Chains A and B, each alone.
Chain A
Amino acid sequence: MLRRLARDRAAFLGGLLILGLMLVAIFAPILAPYPDDVWQFHTPNRLLPPGPERLFGTDRMGSDVFSRMLFGARITLTLSFIAVGSAVLIGVPIGLVAGYWDTWFSELLMRVAEIFLAVPQIVLAIAIAQTLGPSIENVILALSITYWPFWARLVYAQTRSMRNEVFVESAIALGAKPWRVMLLHILPNIASPIIVRTSIGMGATILTAATLGFLGLGAPPPTPEWGRMIAESREYLPEAWWYAMAPGLAIFLTVLGFNLFGDGLRDILDPRTRRSVGGGRG
């Protein structure tokens, strides 16, 4: 499995990007040339163009954009891991339960999921984040509430198709309790699509989170959040062209990493849909 992952160039590159991002997040204080710049202002240095000492220039507060970008990785990673983790923890059980039993209740659960999918995710996320007030916790909450139906719908469809498999029926015939059948017999067999969806879902969540930050709904300043950094740079165009470069590239590479990794995983786990459809967007 791991060897095949290394052979698939896309998955390998994606994995490398994700690994790099994690290292950056962990070692941000060591890697950053000016770690103090994240929370302190150095107004005399404001809006310096990139040079050998400041790779990506400085921002309106005189802080090193590169250092702030490195610290931003921490926020993005924590935020998206928790948000996607909660969405999976809400969506997967709902999908399992709705798919296992065929009652009006399953129907209701899936209808609720579809209502959430009836408007663009970004709109719901903006509305929720705005209602709760700008903070990282609220962004996480907004993202988990908007994204759980993706996993619910996927797991529902997969469980439905597993429900009539011989090994599931025999487990039931042997007297296994429903939760046992779901967790030990069905879940392991539908793990691959869930993992693939989760990797691509990370990409989509990071983009949405950055958009929330861009619109001013994320963490309050001076938190080094990538979306907010890009929003701040807008009024200094066209002079400070470097200002948005580092955070923009950071978002791009991060989302690219998770999308490539998910794509590659799909090819490995399900060879039928080689180089298949979809992508982390929406």
Chain B
Amino acid sequence: MVWLNIILNRLAWLVPTLLGLLLIVFLLSRVVPIDPARLAAGDNASPAQVEAVRQQLGFDRPLPVQFLRYVGDVARGDFGTSLFTQQPIVDDLAARLPATLELTIVAILLAAGIGIPLGVVCGLHRNSWIDHSLRIVTVSGLAVASFWLAMQFQFLFSMKLGWLPLSGRIEGFPPEEVTGLVIIDALIEGDGEIIGSALSHIVLPAITLALPAAATVVRFTRNGVLGAIGSASVAYQTAMGYPRRLIVWKYVLRQAISATVTQLGLIFGILLAGAVVVETVFDWPGIGAYAVRSILQSDYNAVMGFTLWTGAIFVLINLLVDLLQAAIDPRGAR
């Protein structure tokens, strides 16, 4: 029942949240000084043509009517057409989502794979030299501007050393699409050259993206370990003569990881925000770079589509985190 409650509770808020998001972006798109009809009609259109486009796209109706119509379209899965790619926005986003997913998954694996062990070490050896030096690293990782770091990486590893490609997702022809994740598809195809190309392209963007997330994971895990070590149950187990290794591996680690999982929503937020910038610098063909380009070109339908998708992904991630947490620590479940 707990599970069902969590799911229903989250889903009940999904619709109002998305409606609210839609309204914010819609209002934004209507205060722009740029006339969307003129933009859609092109530079050389006559006033009559612009007027025709305006009517065709419904920009002449009152705002509430336009909004309701847009909501109705979205509910049917129609996000409109991008003014620049001339493709349905759903197709644009769907085509680019796997690239962002691939980058984000690699980054989250990196962040967890590096962050959790380091956080545990810091927590177990509090105030040791390793704890202090890692603290400096994590604080710095959160303070560096990712676009600047991305450029420094490009300069050093691509331009100077020539070890890794400068930008993009793959060299030459991509593998046949099965999952949409190029690395997986390349593995399925089994072509070593393509696998190598896909892997070498993802290294720099993934590391840039993972750094602030890894710093956050280290801090959460460290605090989780400290909280667990200070808890009454660990004091009891120590007093009862349990081997320290057993206590650490079985009890402390579990609590520490649970502390980090609770914050997965936040960590994912850091990654998604980072992806917008990192994808732009590395020309990674994901939805983040698409969003930035759409915003800069005043392609508002595309921006609204992106915002809505991101909001929905966010709500679903938080739902997943709630469920995970209920599985790890049933006490906290509502």
- Please tell me if A188 contacts chain B, counting CB pairs below 8 Å: no
The answer to whether B159 touches A281, judged by C-beta atoms less than 8 angstroms apart, is no
| Cβ–Cβ contact A263 & B139, under 8 A | yes
**Quick check: B139 and A121 within 8 Å, CB to CB?**
no
**In the complex, chain A residues whose CB is within 8 Å of the CB of B142:** 203, 255, 259, 279-281
Residue A173 CB within 8 A of the other chain? no
Of the candidates A207, A230, A282, the one whose C-beta lies within 8 Å of that of B151 is: A230
Q: Provided the pairs A123-B291, A123-B306, A259-B143 are in contact, do residues A279 and B276 lie with their beta carbons within 8 angstroms?
A: no
Q: A89 in the interface, Cβ–Cβ < 8 Å?
A: no
Interface positions, chain B 293-334, Cβ under 8 Å from A, are: 295-296, 298, 303, 306-307, 310-311, 314-315
CB distance B307 to A123 under 8 Å?
yes
Query: Is there contact, CB below 8 Å, between B310 and A120?
Result: yes
Residues of A within 8 A of B143 (CB): 203, 252-253, 255-256, 259, 280
A128-153 contacts to B (CB < 8 Å) = 128, 130-131, 133
Nearest to A231 among chain B residues (CB) is B147
A119 touches B21 (CB 8 A): yes
How far is A269 from B21 in the complex, measured between Cα atoms in Å?
A: 36
Given contact pairs A111-B16, A131-B29, A211 touches B277 in the complex (Cβ within 8 A) = yes
**How many of chain A's residues have a CB under 8 angstroms from any CB in B?**
52
Write out the residue numbers on chain A whose beta carbons fall within 8 Å of the beta carbon of B148.
230, 244, 247-248, 251-252
The answer, yes or no, to whether B270 is at the interface (CB within 8 Å) is: yes
The docked-state distance in angstroms from the alpha carbon of A256 to that of B215 is 13
CA distance A248 to B270 in the complex (A): 20
- How far is it, in angstroms, between the C-alpha of A207 and the C-alpha of B306 when the chains are bound? 22
At the interface, yes or no: A260 with Cβ under 8 Å from chain B?
Answer: yes
Contacts of B145 in A (CB 8 A): 207, 210-211, 214, 227, 230, 248, 251-252, 255
Q: A118-B314, A133-B33, A281-B212 are in contact. Are A237 and B20 (CB under 8 A)?
A: no
A sample of 16 cross-chain residue pairs with beta-carbon separation below 8 angstroms, ordered by A number, consists of A115-B21, A118-B311, A118-B314, A123-B291, A124-B24, A126-B276, A127-B307, A207-B145, A252-B143, A255-B143, A259-B142, A277-B223, A279-B138, A279-B212, A280-B142, A281-B142
